[in-house]
Amino acid sequence: MKFGGSSVVDAQAISRAVRIVAEYQLKGHRLVVVVSAFPNVTDELTSISEKAVEGNLKIIDEFVERRTRYHINTAKECIRDQTILGKVVDELNENSLEMRGILRSIARLREFTPRSKDFVLSFGERLSAPILCGAAAELGLKSVWLTGGDAGITTDENFGEANPLMDVTVRKVRAKLEPMLNEGKIPFIAGYVATSPHGVTTTLGRGGSDYTATLIAASLDADEVLIWQEAEGLMTADPKIEPNARLIRRLSYAEASEMAYFGAKAIHPRALQPVVEKQIPVRIRSSIDLTTEGTLVGGDREVNTGTVVKAVTLVSRVAMISVTGSGMAGLPGVAAKVFRILGDTDINILMISQSSSEAGISFVVSREKLRQAKNALGLGLIGTEFAKKNLVSEDDVCVIAAVGSGMKGTSGVAAKVFRAVAEKDVNVRMIAQGSSELNISFIVAEKDGPKAIQALHDEFKLGRNL
C-alpha cells in the first residue's frame, strides 16, 4: 500500500489511513505500507534550501522549528498512548536535528549540490512515516518504520531522479522485509528515499513514493499494489477542467504509463516499470470513499472496454522550441546534434516532431528549462546556419494527449481529434504520435487547453464510467 500526500494531510486522514491498514490485516493480508510526505513539505524543503545558500541561519532555524512543531502537533492529535507518542516525538526531534544540521551546512558553505538536495528532500517522508507508524501501533498493530534505503532500495547516484539497481534491490529488500513480515510486523516505509551502494541518500524523483511501492512489490512478488489517494481513481480527464469526467475502471499498463507521462497525477511515470514484468496489478483507490473499487491497472485478462480513446490529459508549464532552416533538408546529423546538446545539459524532451521536408525540428521541454535549453543550443550551434536566428521558442503552450489502446488499428481517430478541436477554434501548433499508437499528442496555446480537453471529451463520449 502507498498513501499519498492527500491521504496523510492531517490527523484525521492519518487515522483513516491506519484503520484501512488494520482492516486489511484483519482479512489476513501481509502488508507493506509506503508513506509520502505531508502536502507541500517537499516544496518547502526545496525553497528553504535555496534560501540557505544565502547564509541566513535565522530563517533556517525558524523553518525547522515550525515544521517540527507542526509534525509533533499532528502526532499528538492522532496518538493518545503517551509511551508510543514519546517514541514518535523522539524520532521526529532526531530527524529535525539532522535536517537543521544539513541546512546550516548549506548556509555555511553557500553551496547547494544535487547530492545535498536529495538529502534535504528526504526529510519530508522521514518526518511523516514515524507518525503513521505510531498511529498504527496505537491500534495494536506491530509496526516499524524505515526509509526506502533502510528497506533495501538501492540506486545509482543520479541525484534527483536516481535509477534503481534491481538485482541489489531485490536481494536487500527480501533480506530486510521478509523476516519482519514473517513475524507479523507491518513495515511503514518512507517513500521517495533510497540509498546508493556507498550509503549516500538518493531520491527517486518527484512523486517517487509510487515508485518505492512498486519496487518493493516487485522485490517481494506481491499480489497487488494499492495506491490510496483523495480521488476515486484515474479519470477520463481532470475534473477541474471537465466537470463530466468519469472514473476509468480498467487500464492496461501501457495506457496508464501514457496517462502518467502526459500529466495524470495519480501515478508516477516510472512507477509501473517494476511491476509490468511480473504482471502485478496496481489498484488506485480513494482513501475517503471506500465504496468504489477505483481503477485497476494491469491484471491477468486483456483490458478492452471497446472504447477507442479512454482519457484526455493536459500538460501545462511546457515550452516549444523549433530549429528551422532550408539548409537542414538532407543534411545528416542535425537532429543528433540538437538532441545531444540538450542531453548533455540534462534537459528532458517531452515531444518531438519533424516535417517531411526535414526543414525544421520542433520539440517540447519543461518551461522552467526553456532558457537553459535556448542558451545551450545557441552556444552549441555557433558556426552553423542554425544559430540563434533559426531558433524560435514559444512559452504560452500546453500539451494535449488523447490516450487509449483502442486507437491502434482504428482508422479515422486523428481526423476526429483534430476536427473536434478545430470546431472549437483551437489552433494546433505541433503534432506527434508514437509507433505504439496508444496516444495522439499535440500542442495548443495554453489558453486553449481547457477548450481542447472539453472538445475531445465530448467527441469520444467519455462522460460515462469506463
Helix, coil or strand: residue 433: strand
Average pLDDT rounded to a whole number, residues 57-66: 95
Domain segments of the chain as ranges:
2-230, 311-459
Beta-sheet pairing, 428-433 with 360-366: unpaired
Report, at the CATH architecture level, how domain 311-459 is classified: 2-Layer Sandwich (3.30)
Q: Which of 266, 258, 204 is nearest to 399 (CA)?
A: 258
Helix, coil or strand: residue 45: helix
Dihedral angle of Cα 45, 48, 49, 54, to the nearest 10 degrees: 180
**Which range (211-220, 241-250, 335-344) has the least confidence?**
335-344
- Tens of pLDDT, residues 96-112: 999 999 999 999 999 99
Instruction: Give the highest mean pLDDT range of 25-34, 324-333, 342-351, 366-375.
Output: 25-34
- Tens of pLDDT, residues 120-151: 999 999 999 999 999 999 999 999 999 999 99
- Tens of pLDDT, residues 449-464: 999 999 999 999 998 7
Q: How confident is the model at residue 329 (pLDDT cuts 50, 70, 90)?
A: low
Average pLDDT rounded to a whole number, residues 270-291: 92
Say how many C-beta atoms besides its own lie within 10 A of residue 205's C-beta.
17
Considering the domain 2-230 in this protein, what is its CATH number?
3.40.1160.10
5 vs 124: CA distance, rounded Å: 10
C-alpha separations of 294 from 80, 237, 289, 351 in Å: 32, 15, 10, 30
Considering the entire predicted model, what is its pTM?
Answer: 0.87
The H or E element spanning position 438 is none
Beta-sheet pairing, 428-433 with 439-445: antiparallel
What's the confidence (pLDDT) of residue 465?
A: 56
Give the cell for residue 272. 509501473
